[in-house]
Amino acid sequence: MDIRENETGKTTAAATGNEKYIIHLKEPVTFEGKKYDTIDLTGLDRICARDMIAVNRRLSDSGNMDTIQENTLEYALNLAAVAAEMPIEFFEQLKPSVAIRVKRCVVGFIYKQG
């Protein structure tokens, strides 16, 4: 398997075999002066219940009272921000089609079997 590290020294998805958690963008997204052509959600593997509870509380505190928060776009984007170690503002500015791809990836991860 190909071992690579990005500029922050983190091992990339090519090294971990988690390519399914990499979202390739047709159009790069610019955030804080940097262009992104992928969204790396391989950090989902590090998510624990504590992270999910923190996202639930943050959403409840902001007025989101959905009964099944983990199925909402807002929850998925917040959990993606935790997984990617990026500000939520990056995810909030995504085009709708990309935001839905992120949601599908996160929800698929949450409900995967095994």
- The answer to whether residue 46 sits within a structural domain is yes
Total-model pTM = 0.81
**Structural domain that includes position 29:** 13-110
Residue 57: inside a domain: yes
- 71, part of any domain: yes
Sign of the four-CA dihedral 73, 86, 17, 48: negative
Residue 5 lies in a domain: no
Residue range 37-89, pLDDT digits in tens = 999 999 999 999 999 999 999 999 998 888 888 899 999 999 999 999 999 99
**Mean model confidence pLDDT for the chain:** 86
How many structural domains is the chain composed of? 1
For 77, residues 6+ apart whose C-beta sits below 8 A from its C-beta are 88, 91, 92, 94, 99, 102, 103, 106
Burial of 45 (0-12, 13-18, 19+ CB in 10 A): exposed
Residue 4 located in a structural domain: no
* 94 occurs within a structural domain: yes
Does a structural domain hold residue 38? yes
